[in-house]
């Protein structure tokens, strides 16, 4: 019997398809809604460190969350792929 939970590849494909259907206004509204929900959580409020990303390919832009994190003294990190294909997180600083 197959599990009702989609595998990671299926889930990513579904999300990519949904994102592709958003126009610029819808994407901005969705990003603002996600940011608002995240910033209201106790996990976010208690966090000292935050991993983020730079949006591409119609991903929701986490810029508002990053700006809020910086304004409250949180450390923000971005994923970096090393030459050996391993992943690390590097500090992302306010200009």
- pLDDT over 90 (residue 65): yes
pLDDT, mean of residues 34-49: 97
Instruction: For residues 8 and 16, give the distance between their C-alpha atoms in angstroms, rounded to a whole number.
Output: 12
Which H or E run contains 87? strand 87-92
Phi and psi of 87, rounded to 5°? -105, 135
pLDDT, mean of residues 42-50: 98
What are the residue ranges of helices labelled H in the chain? 8-20, 24-39, 42-46, 63-71
pLDDT, mean of residues 14-36: 87
Q: What average pLDDT does the structure give for the chain? A: 90
- pLDDT over 60 (residue 67): yes
């Amino acid at each position: 019997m197959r599990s009702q939970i989609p595998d990671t590849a299926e889930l990513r494909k579904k999300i990519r398809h949904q994102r592709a259907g958003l126009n610029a206004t819808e994407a901005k509204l969705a990003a603002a809604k996600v940011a608002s929900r995240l910033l209201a959580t106790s996990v976010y409020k208690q966090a000292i460190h935050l991993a983020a990303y730079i949006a591409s390919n119609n991903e929701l832009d986490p810029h508002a969350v990053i700006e809020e994190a910086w304004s409250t003294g949180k450390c923000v990190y971005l994923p970096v792929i090393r030459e050996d294909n391993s992943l690390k997180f590097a500090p992302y600083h306010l200009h």
